[in-house]
Structure 1
Amino acid sequence: MYVTAAVLSVLLALGSLAAGAPKALLKGDVPAALQSHMGLSAGFVRFIGLAEAAAAVGLVIGLFWQPLGIAAATGLVITMIGAVGFHAKAGDYTDPATRNNALSPVVFLLLAVAAAVTLGLAM
């Protein structure tokens, strides 16, 4: 079970860092789209990016100290539930032009739940 938890944690950490870094730095198209399309402030977008980057660090350290990995995965679950809610409120799931981008938090949500469960079972 630990190998599964490790693989899920590493994949989730890489994805979370890749998604969070541009938001934390406010660089690229994604932070600009979150600000213009969803009406989020620059500070809130940066906070989301820092939370995703912190989850990535927590997931990697959690490979050695599993309670931190479980906490990081759980925090990412909460963050992704919020992201899914924001995308639903903006109507991104019904618009074919924005649907693909809006499905990313759903995938991250499922991966985060799986990582938290497998880390818990591996303890």
Structure 2
Amino acid sequence: MTVAYVAVAVLLSIALVGSGIAKLTRADQVVTSLTGIGVPLGLFPFLATCEFAGAAGLLVGIWWPPLGIAAAIGVVLYFVGAVGAHLRKRDFGGLSAPVVLLLVSAAALVLRLLSR
């Protein structure tokens, strides 16, 4: 299970860092999607910081399982909020990315718990 966790944690961390960078650079697609569901531009740096922290925690969690578990829980909660925000505004077109990332983060959590 440890090898599976490492693979999922690395891939999820890459996705989180990419998403955080897109928020900080205010990529057009991200701005359109998030402002369309009511997320103010001023919240983008905070959201990016959460993603960077989650990525770092998942990676450090390879060697220190308690941090990996905490980070995975945080990332799961982050994407539960993202999915909820899209559903609240009935933005079904923008729902696929947060749902996939929610599932991957849940897999990271389960794998980290099983490989302790």
Provide the C-alpha distance between the structure 1 equivalents of 2:84 and 2:97, rounded to a whole number of angstroms.
13
Amino acid at match of 1:4: A
Q: Whole-Å Cα distance in 2 between the matches of residues 26 and 13 of structure 1?
A: 18
Match of 1:96 in 2: none
Aligned counterparts of 2:26 and 2:86: Cα–Cα separation in 1:
20
Sequence identity percentage:
38
TM-score with structure 1 setting the length: 0.86
Q: Structure 1: how far apart are the matches of 2:57 and 2:19?
A: 15
Match of 1:41?
Answer: 40
Partner residue, 2:50 = 51
Q: Give 1:77 shift.
A: 0.4
| 1:22 shift after superposition | 1.9
**TM-score, normalization by structure 2:** 0.91
1:74 is the counterpart of 2:70: no
Matched residue, 2:63: 64
Structure 2 residues not aligned, in runs of 5+: none
What amino acid is aligned across from residue 75 of structure 1 in structure 2? G
Equivalent pairs counted in the alignment come to 115
CA-CA distance at 1:50 after TM superposition = 1.1
AA aligned to 1:15 is A
> Which runs of 4 or more aligned residues in structure 1 lie more than 3 Å from their structure 2 counterparts after TM superposition?
none
Residue matched to 2:22: 22
